[in-house]
Each structure stands twice: as structure tokens, then as C-alpha cells.
Amino acid sequence: MARQKVAKRSEIAPGTTLRVVVDDCEILLCDVDGELHAIEDVCTHDGGPLDQGELEGRCVVCPRHGATFDVCTGEALTLPAVVPLMTFAVSVEGDDVYVDA
Amino acid sequence: MATKLDPSVSPQGLIEDYRHGFHDAENYVFKSGKGLTREIVERISSMKDEPAWMRDFRLKAYELFLSKPMPAWGDTARLAEIDFADLHYFVKSTDKTERSWDDVPEDIKRTFDRLGIPEAERKFLSGVSAQYESEVVYHNTSKALDDQGVLFCDMDTAVKKYPDILQKYFATVIPPGDNKFASLNSAVWSGGSFIYVPPGIEVAMPLQAYFRINAENMGQFERTLIIADKGAKVHYIEGCTAPKFSTSSLHSAVVELIAEEGASIRYTTIQNWYRNIFNLVTKRAIAQKNATVEWVDGNLGSRLTMKYPAIYLMGEGARGEILSMAFAGEGQHQDAGAKVIHVAPNTTSVVTNKSVSAHGGKTTYRGLVEIFPGAVGAKTHVRCDALIMDEESSSDTKPTMKIHEQRSTVEHEASVSKIGEDQLFYAMSRGLSEVDATAMIVNGFFDFFVKELPMEYAVELNRLVKMEMEGAVG
């Protein structure tokens, strides 16, 4: 999948997330202090989505077992997750959000 | 003493039968009302005079507790018996942590005496802290530990004295959202042990704490965090017995172990709960490169125990061992097991579980071994044996193996057996009574576990098993 438009910037309020699916790839866009980050929306512990989890600063917490990930780097910060999340390059042009996946 | 239940015996009569069923008059400084509210969580935090980060942590965990469902697996029928609105979530028995044994109030001291923590043992062990109700009332760390730089105190003290270490490690192994009972513990935790062993230090003597529940309907939610820094070594022992209760009570602990590179932690616990207690505990450890973690876990009593000590082998060459035994008597379900997650190459683990069910009790072994892709050379050996004493008792074995790396070695052995007629006949032909012969065979079955215990625990466990078996025959 090449770089493509996935969402409107105005859809993502400060400190919130937006789930988008592009070419079967589940992506979570996260607004951290006004900057967008894109991670795969699949918890590496149980394979479920993270979009119902809370975004606290730069960390997203899995709603099922509490695994915490750094959305900027993908790093798994607490058990039960041990494998990092995939991250994607994200850019904003006007009100359009592009992801390189 | 017969422990087999006769329907004509009144519940009171049964309670009197229980060896550790003594009950001191309740005498508390503060006891929260029944049920859990946001106000109670805030009150616990303010009474403990905690920093804001811990208060926020508790409140967030409280919200998680409300939102999380009860487990949909395991003994759901029994889990449904827990009435969260009918429990006390915090009881404070004295208003300060006692420093010297002489200052400990008489009635509390009496309780410890009857539990059998002898004076000699206090001298013998390098540190003793005994948890009575929700807070540690007696704590004594020997000078030798201080000189080595080992930190050993109750968790409430650690939150205030060692905030840097706490914030680095606390709840990173078991986050509050892990499961409903971990959320509950995170919201209302009180007491438990904190240990930090600096790099390269080996603690020669085992560190020990004794837990006990006394107030009726009181949940006990201790929280333990043990960190062995690089190359350090420590053995921690925890023993539990509970006095009688007239209604159900909940014990829900969280135990986190962190063994840094080359470190070694052994955690030994024996729990002997009265048969109306729900014992729902989350125990998990991290072993980094070349580190070793060992859980030695004995479970007796309780209405329902759900406990699966886990080890995450995160670094190359890490080693984990889980030895556990369970005894389920009448009306009891011991749902215990082990989890080992091999994340890194050349990690090894051994799981040995033995269970006995008697007088209609039920045991379940529920285990997980997971080998991650890339954990080349991982080796694991799982063995679980169940002994069923009579027609009314039962046992289930539910092992799960998730192997994602072909270049690994996985072994699993399981057996379910009845007590051998020929073994009994042989022992009785040598002059033993049926009771003694049965007790001897069961103690032999548990021998692998007992020999790993310190002497005084080994003696007590053999005695408890024999007592349990006395009602099993004839």
C-alpha cells in the first residue's frame, strides 16, 4: 500500500483517536499534543482493536487487558504485551491526512 | 479429627472444627462501610496520605473495575456468588505501623502467637513483617539488610519513601486493566510487601511475611512488588492462614516480580484459607536476560481459588520454574495452574503441578505455555498429576500450548490416578492403619513440593495434609 489519503484532520480532536481501515490494514490515528501519529490498531497481546482504549498523553491503553503502548514509537510499555506495534508515517496537507502504509 | 461433612452438623459445629478457626474480638481504628464507591477509594487514599499520582491511579482503576466484566471462563457459577456490595474494602487495625515487637497490641500479638510465629524465628529470619488486616502492624528489618542496601518494607511506606522506584516498576507487570480483580486490587490495595535488592547483592536469608484475615466480610487486597536488580538474589516467603468466617470473604492480591539481568527471585507461598474464602490472585513475573524466577505455590482451603502464577521470559537465557500443589476438600474448587511466556531465545522453563481432590472437592489445572516467533532454542517441560481420592471428587486438566517457533522443545506430561489399592494394601500389611497409609501416600505425592520448603513450612504442610486425609477413609 502506498501513501494515501485516509481521513480529514478536523475529524480528530486533540487528545483523541480515529480508527481507519485502508486496504485491510487497521490503523489508529492518534492526536498527541496536536501532532498526529499512526499505529496499527491491533493489540499485539490479544489481536483485538485498541480504538476503544484510552489515549493518555502519548500512551494508548488496551481496553481488554490494560497493555500500554507508546503511540509515537509503538513500544510496548507494560505487560501483557511484549511485542511493539507497527507504526506508519503520517502527514497532513490542508485538512487531508495521508498515511504511508 | 474428622473433617468430612455430615449434613446434620450445624455450620457452627463445622467452623469450630477448623484448626486455625480462632477469632479475636474485632477492634479497629477504622472500618469502611460495606460496598465500594468512589468516595471510599478517595478516603483510603487520603487516610494513607498518598501522593496525587497514587490517588489518580486508584481512581482510574476503580472506573476500570466498574467497566470490566466478570471472567466468562472458569467456575463462573461460584464466581457469581461474590457479592461486591456486601464487602468491606478497607479495615485499619491500628493507626500506626509498629516498629518494635513489644509495642504491638496484645490481642494482635496473641493472634500471631496462635499462628505460631515463634520468637526464635524472629531472630532466625532476617526480616519479619506480619500483615494483620489491611496494614502491616509489625515490621522489623534487620540491620544486616540495611547495610546491604536492601529495601524491605510494606507497600504503603514504599509509596512515600521510594517514589522513584515505585513509579518506574509499579503496575508495569500487572496493569490495572489486566482483569477485573487486578482493577479492584489497584483501586483499594492496602499493605503487602515491597522489596528492592540492589545490583549484585545476594540476600542470604529468606525474607518473610505472614498474612491473615480477621474481620468478617473483609476483602484483603495486598499488593506486593519485588525487584531484584542486576545480578541480585532474593527468596521471599509468604504464608497465609485465615480464621473462621460466617459469610463469604474475598482475597484478591496482586504480586509483581521483576528479575533484572542475571538476577534471581524465588517466591514461596503457602495458602490455607478457610473454606468460605474466594482467593482470586494475579501473580506475574518478568525475567530479563539470564535471570531466574521461581514460584513455589501451595494452595489449601478456600471456596474457590483461581491462581496462575506467570513468568515472562523476556531476555535470552532466562529461566523460569513453577512448582505448585493444590488440595481441594469438600465444597472447594482449586483452579490453579501456571503460565510461561517464552519471548526470547534459549529460554527454559519447568512447570510441575500436583493436585489432590477429596471429599467431593474439585481441582483444575489450567496452564499456558507460549513460545514467540524467534524464541529459538526455547525449552519447556510441563508436568501435571492429579490424584482423585473418591467417587465424589473430580479433576480437570486444561493445558494450552501456543508454539510459534519450530526450533523449540516442548514436553507435556499429565496423569490422573486414583490412590493405588496395591500401595494401600502393601502399607497396611506393614502395620499402618488405613488413615496413616493414605496420608503417607498423599504426602509422598506432594514430596516434590514439600522438599522445596523451609523446614517449619514442610512440617506444617505434612500435618495439614494428614488432617485433611483423616476424614477421607472409613
Closest approach of chain A CAs to the CA of B269, in angstroms?
23
Mean pLDDT, consecutive 10-residue segments, chain B of 474 residues? 39 43 59 83 92 96 95 93 86 54 58 52 39 48 80 90 95 96 95 93 82 49 94 87 54 95 95 83 97 95 93 98 94 95 98 94 96 97 94 94 96 91 92 89 91 81 75 45
Contact of B270 with B461, CB cutoff 8 Å: yes
Cβ <8 Å between A82 and B177: no
Best of B178, B179, B180, B342 to disrupt the A interface (most A CBs within 10 Å) is B178
Q: What is the Cα–Cα distance from B290 to B392, expressed in whole angstroms?
A: 46
What pLDDT is attached to residue B52?
A: 95
Per DSSP, the three-state class of B129 is strand
What pLDDT is attached to residue B2?
A: 37
Would you call A57 an interface residue with chain B, using a CB distance cutoff of 8 Å?
no
Mean pLDDT of chain A: 93
What pLDDT is attached to residue B289?
A: 98
pTM: 0.85
Contact of B257 with B173, CB cutoff 8 Å: yes
Q: What are the contacts of B147-150 at 24+ separation with CB within 8 A?
A: B148/B198, B148/B201, B148/B203, B149/B198, B149/B201, B150/B195, B150/B196, B150/B197, B150/B198, B150/B201, B150/B203, B150/B234
**Helix (H) or strand (E) segment spanning residue B277:** strand B277-287
C-alpha triplet B88, B90, B92: angle, nearest 5°: 125
**Helix (H) or strand (E) segment spanning residue B256:** strand B254-259
* Residues in contact with B397: Cβ distance below 8 Å, sequence separation at least 6, in sequence order: B364, B365, B384, B386, B414, B416
Contact of B328 with B355, CB cutoff 8 Å: yes
Contact of B302 with B332, CB cutoff 8 Å: yes
Searching chain A, which residue's CA lies closest to the CA of residue B343? A82
Residue B35: which of B250, B277, B190 has the closest Cα? B250
What pLDDT is attached to residue B218?
A: 46
What pLDDT is attached to residue B469?
A: 76
Q: What is the Cα–Cα distance from B29 to A17, expressed in whole angstroms?
A: 47
What is the amino acid identity at position B91?
A: V
A contacts of B343 (beta carbons < 8 Å) = 82
